[in-house]
Amino acid sequence: MKFLHYMPIKSDLYNGGTIRMINESSDFNSNEHAFFVKYPVGIEDIDNYNNVHLKPSISIADFIQFEKDYDYIILHAWSIPYTQQPFIPKKVAKKMIWCVWGHDLYKLYNAEINGGIKNRIIKFLIKTIQIPLIKNIFAICYSFPYDRKEIFKVYGSRMRAFHVSYDFGHDADTLISEAKGKRQSNNLKVMVGHSSYPFLNHIHILEKLKKYEGEALEIYLPLNYGDMVYKDKVKKYCETYPIEVHILEEKLSKEAYVSYLSNIDVAIMDFKHQAAVGNVYLLILLNKKVYANGEGIIYKGLKEAEIEIFDSRKIGEINFSEFADMTYEKGSGQKWVREMVDLKETKLRWKKLFDYCKAEEENRRI
């Protein structure tokens, strides 16, 4: 049995954690797995694994060769261009397993809730090219349980769907023990977004937060990856902003980032599609107050799981004491996230997927 993993998204935490887990855990046979990464993982020992290969781009010819060389092709995010999708042979598609990244599952959702010619074109391409192709793939994997609804809604209830978890590299208790941020003041520390992408609506939220000018408040903006042009726009806006702003631009290690989050009190994720799940999990695990868009997937998914989550649309309308109130119930959220990120459970979920694939392959050969 041979699995090919293609990782087109630059994420040291996710890619590195997944590669390390499969290579170093006795639960898996590393000889069964090959990893092709679009970008260097950035972690020396992982980049030096014999089964990790740098592949900046993938062609139709590559997919055809993968089909010959491997039993399953695991795509860690759907990144195949619309121009390539019509030319993917059916026998290649049948070996594909798509591990949802977040935004890739919700492109149709975004196109439908946003107007304009561009979104109408995207919707047309998804419905006429992408959906017919994906309906032929072997399975779809998700890390955020609410995504299962969107998978079945778009691709039908017959689609195989597996819950596989983010691998944070440690269990929940270890992650919490790594949270060593030291408070420099008693001000409420508010983080807006987790990167420098336009969908995080930084300026829109910063405008809302102006209502709390004069309160004991500091704002933190992690802008250390994403859209650099957009980052400069946000930085320019902050030059005359009336509340103290701290902008993070340097890349952090996993341990340093967990420490950074531990110093935050409130985090605001104002977007409607699914994204930043790993960040939201960490924030809840660290007992931080999370605001998400009340019309969005993160908000709806956590509400469905009966976890306290707050509506970012109300920021600026509610008074500061309500915005900053930290006396809500936190136990159920932390318990739920522990189950999502537990290292043992993460391995079991991946093993369940691989074992199912092996059984299906054996049945085909009988």
3-state SS, residue 175: helix
**Looking at the 3D structure of the chain, how many domains does it have?**
2
Q: What is the pLDDT of residue 207?
A: 98
Contact (CB, 8 A) for 328 and 311: no
Task: Identify whether residues 253 and 237 lie together within a single domain.
Answer: yes
Q: Positive or negative, the Cα torsion across 138, 29, 276, 55?
A: negative
Q: What is the pLDDT of residue 12?
A: 78
Q: What is the pLDDT of residue 16?
A: 86
Q: What is the pLDDT of residue 170?
A: 58
Task: Identify whether residues 213 and 154 lie together within a single domain.
Answer: no
CA 286 to chain centre: 18
Task: Identify whether residues 222 and 302 lie together within a single domain.
Answer: yes
Task: Identify whether residues 223 and 280 lie together within a single domain.
Answer: yes
- Cα–Cα distances in Å, from 272 out to 130, 155, 295? 21, 20, 6
What is the span of the domain harbouring residue 318?
172-340
Task: Identify whether residues 229 and 113 lie together within a single domain.
Answer: no
Task: Identify whether residues 203 and 260 lie together within a single domain.
Answer: yes
Determine if residue 103 is left, alpha or beta; phi over 0 gives left, psi from -120 to 50 gives alpha, anything else beta.
alpha
Pairing of strands 188-192, 161-163: unpaired
The 8-class DSSP code of residue 198 comes to G
Task: Identify whether residues 131 and 219 lie together within a single domain.
Answer: no
Count of H helices and E strands in the chain? 17, 13
Which residue bears the tokens 């090919």? 4
Task: Identify whether residues 187 and 294 lie together within a single domain.
Answer: yes
β-partners of residue 35 are: 5, 52
Q: Which of 25, 75, 23, 29 is nearest to 46 (CA)?
A: 23
Element (H, E) at 162: strand 161-163
Task: Identify whether residues 334 and 349 lie together within a single domain.
Answer: no
- 98-101, long-range: CB within 8 Å, 24+ apart, which pairs? 98/134, 98/137, 98/139, 98/140, 98/141, 99/74, 99/75, 99/140, 99/141, 99/142, 99/143, 99/164, 100/140, 100/141, 100/142, 100/143, 100/144, 100/147, 100/151, 100/274, 101/9, 101/76, 101/77
pTM of the entire predicted model: 0.87
Task: Identify whether residues 142 and 271 lie together within a single domain.
Answer: no
Q: What is the CATH number of the domain that holds 203?
A: 3.40.50.2000
Q: What is the CATH number of the domain that holds 15?
A: 3.40.50
For every one of its 366 residues, what pLDDT tens digit does the chain have, with 9 covering 90 and above?
Answer: 799 999 999 887 788 889 999 999 999 999 999 999 998 877 667 777 899 999 999 999 999 999 999 999 999 999 999 999 999 999 999 999 999 998 899 988 888 877 789 999 999 999 999 999 999 999 999 999 999 999 999 999 999 999 998 766 556 677 677 666 556 678 999 999 999 999 999 999 999 999 999 999 999 999 998 899 999 999 999 999 999 999 999 988 878 888 899 999 999 999 998 888 889 999 999 999 999 999 999 999 999 999 999 999 999 999 999 999 999 999 999 999 988 888 889 999 999 999 999 999 888 777
Q: What is the pLDDT of residue 275?
A: 87
Task: Identify whether residues 181 and 63 lie together within a single domain.
Answer: no
Task: Identify whether residues 229 and 93 lie together within a single domain.
Answer: no
The 8-class DSSP code of residue 129 comes to I
